[in-house]
Chain A
């Protein structure tokens, strides 16, 4: 992997197989035990590791077969949180929005066993996947802390513990997602400060995924977020965020979204390849990582695979062009 350019990756989640969805529902109704559910989650995780290898993705994820929601998963495992009643997110979709009810602490690691399990299945690097402190705060109700900064910094401390445990377990990439970072652009200093707490002792490559919102409102300030790589949805936004880089050059590695994830159909390889070429105008091939715009958990397994296939095929097309251009005539 090391000397390859345009390393491919994904944002984190994949569609769950039917047998797992059914098992999760049965578990929620008390009709299936934790041990049985975990076994099926492991089976689904292994299937996704194999699919990613077959698709020839360079940097893998565990697919988050054991998670429903990226904040609730952690809230359920941290002391200080309780899950509130149902709240609508859009249309007919509801979720249990977490409540920070008292001071937050981490009784034990939350994702490390899953990381170990999935990394042991493959020689390719698997990313450790965490939700960032600012997003944890913004997507919860805060009853416990006087200010949002206080809450974000307390959450940063537990995310730091988890990130350092992932690194100790061998994670070479640790992704700390902050999709809510632009919810209140005036608070970006809080998000930056909190991320600084998380990544201060990490040597692993650090990544943060940002999506859905006005990226322009936080650019170029977001370049101060202390991570090595930003992971951005671009296809869904017609690559318009790239234009911001004309005025203020992008200074990090860029994981660039080249297929929209909120459609059943997928862009052609040619269209996706054009997205990579657009990215190459601003970021070198060593620092540009093609991937789908966002997590694929709302897509079926077949749709998830197809989107990844297009990403990898498009990347190979552009790699070939780059190799040809580099060969003296």
Chain B
């Protein structure tokens, strides 16, 4: 059993607001792009340090440079702009909806520089992350090019696959595919699977991360996705997924620490969830994680959640594989 995190880490704390100030200064023209980039690197170093220090086995880079899950891609790709603000699923958090202006193309190196930087900073295992194709395609505000959701999703998948190839060439051995749309819109699972098949063709092991909504209606379907891992939230919503984990064939990244509520779980509560999972699947196929990105919490609570996660993993017998 390994511990891991998904998604973005808080970019600032009440005590450390350097990045917030730097972005303000950048907006006012008092800090140039190079200066801002330096602060972003420092903030990434800070986030990675905290994840390592908490004892998380497999970390990401905290996505400090990501304005939202879609931003790095919508900002970098040709044929795509960042458009109007909209609420991100059922969060009081907002993102910029992409506007498709033409065929989406990418060099496939959008995330390479940041991954290489993070690898230079991180101790231990580091994974990368991309936005899921269905999530990106369903959150588009306007599409002036593709004729259908299917065309758009598969075109996005091709672009993401190229980014994954780029990450693989840079040394990534595991890439999270963050796909909340799959559980938000289970009716599109066949399309999501076709898209993920294109990502898998890039040849880098993938972790399909579902969150925000219960995965219950999809557990059987998820077993057929060509990925190494599937992330399932068993904590934050009404769900019986915990009792049906053996429907899956892949390693399960079990979301047991609620990343959208400040109440910190007790060790007893978490151990009970882990033990229930272990009755369904062997420990070799179980990773433990927060239910989604910790950026939905204030920094001080995020730190406590990481501690609770690691302590519960140790208590349940998962002391370093």
Q: Which residues of A contact B (CB under 8 A)?
A: 84-92, 94, 97, 99, 138-139, 141-143, 180, 183-184, 212-213, 236, 262
Contact: A92 with B87, CB < 8 Å? no
Give me 14 other A-B pairs in contact (C-beta within 8 A), A86-B14, A97-B92, A262-B85 excluded. A84-B262, A84-B301, A85-B13, A85-B298, A85-B301, A86-B298, A87-B298, A89-B92, A90-B68, A90-B85, A90-B93, A99-B262, A143-B263, A212-B85
Interface residues of B in 10-53 (CB under 8 A from A): 10-14, 17, 20, 23-24, 27
Give bound CA distance, A212 to B300, whole Å: 29
Give bound CA distance, A258 to B10, whole Å: 37
B66: shortest Cβ distance to chain A, in Å?
11
Known: A85-B298, A85-B300. A180 touches B92 (CB 8 A): yes
Contact: A212 with B86, CB < 8 Å? yes
Interface centre among B23, B87, B301 (most CB of A within 10 A): B87
B7: shortest Cβ distance to chain A, in Å?
13
Known: A94-B20, A183-B90, A184-B90. A88 touches B301 (CB 8 A): no
Q: Which residues of B contact A (CB under 8 A)?
A: 10-14, 17, 20, 23-24, 27, 67-68, 84-87, 90-95, 260-263, 295-301
Contact: B295 with A88, CB < 8 Å? yes
Contact: A87 with B94, CB < 8 Å? no
Contact: B261 with A143, CB < 8 Å? yes
Contact: A139 with B92, CB < 8 Å? yes
Q: Give the residue name and chain of the B residue nearest to A99 (CB).
A: B262
What residues of chain A lie closer than 8 Å to B295, measured between beta carbons? Answer: 87-88
A198: shortest Cβ distance to chain B, in Å?
21
Contact: A86 with B263, CB < 8 Å? no
What residues of chain B lie closer than 8 Å to A213, measured between beta carbons? Answer: 86-87
Q: Give the residue name and chain of the A residue nearest to B15 (CB).
A: A85
A192: shortest Cβ distance to chain B, in Å?
17
Give bound CA distance, A87 to B20, whole Å: 12
Please provide the 3 A-B residue pairs with the shortest distance between their CB atoms, ordered closest to farther. Answer: A85-B298, A90-B94, A143-B263
Q: Give the residue name and chain of the A residue nearest to B71 (CB).
A: A91
Select A84's contact among B23, B24, B94, B298, beta carbons within 8 Å. B298
Contact: B298 with A97, CB < 8 Å? yes
Known: A86-B299, A87-B297. A183 touches B93 (CB 8 A): no
Contact: A212 with B67, CB < 8 Å? no
What residues of chain A lie closer than 8 Å to B27, measured between beta carbons? Answer: 92
Contact: A141 with B85, CB < 8 Å? no
B79: shortest Cβ distance to chain A, in Å?
22
Give bound CA distance, A57 to B242, whole Å: 56
Give bound CA distance, A253 to B145, whole Å: 39
A233: shortest Cβ distance to chain B, in Å?
12
What residues of chain A lie closer than 8 Å to B68, measured between beta carbons? Answer: 90
A129: shortest Cβ distance to chain B, in Å?
19
Give bound CA distance, A94 to B11, whole Å: 10
Q: Give the residue name and chain of the A residue nearest to B23 (CB).
A: A92
Q: Give the residue name and chain of the B residue nearest to A187 (CB).
A: B90
Name 20 interchain pairs, CB-CB below 8 A, sorted by A. Answer: A84-B298, A85-B13, A85-B298, A85-B299, A85-B300, A85-B301, A87-B296, A87-B297, A88-B11, A89-B94, A90-B68, A91-B67, A99-B262, A138-B90, A141-B260, A141-B261, A143-B263, A180-B92, A183-B87, A183-B92
Contact: B20 with A92, CB < 8 Å? yes
A43: shortest Cβ distance to chain B, in Å?
28
Give bound CA distance, A180 to B87, whole Å: 9
Known: A84-B301, A184-B90. A90 touches B262 (CB 8 A): no
Q: Give the residue name and chain of the A residue nearest to B94 (CB).
A: A90
Give bound CA distance, A128 to B282, whole Å: 59
Give bound CA distance, A140 to B20, whole Å: 22
Give bound CA distance, A266 to B271, whole Å: 56
A222: shortest Cβ distance to chain B, in Å?
16
Known: A86-B14, A90-B68. A141 touches B262 (CB 8 A): yes
Q: Give the residue name and chain of the A residue nearest to B260 (CB).
A: A141
Known: A90-B68, A90-B94. A212 touches B87 (CB 8 A): yes
Give bound CA distance, A236 to B85, whole Å: 11
What residues of chain A lie closer than 8 Å to B301, measured between beta carbons? Answer: 84-85
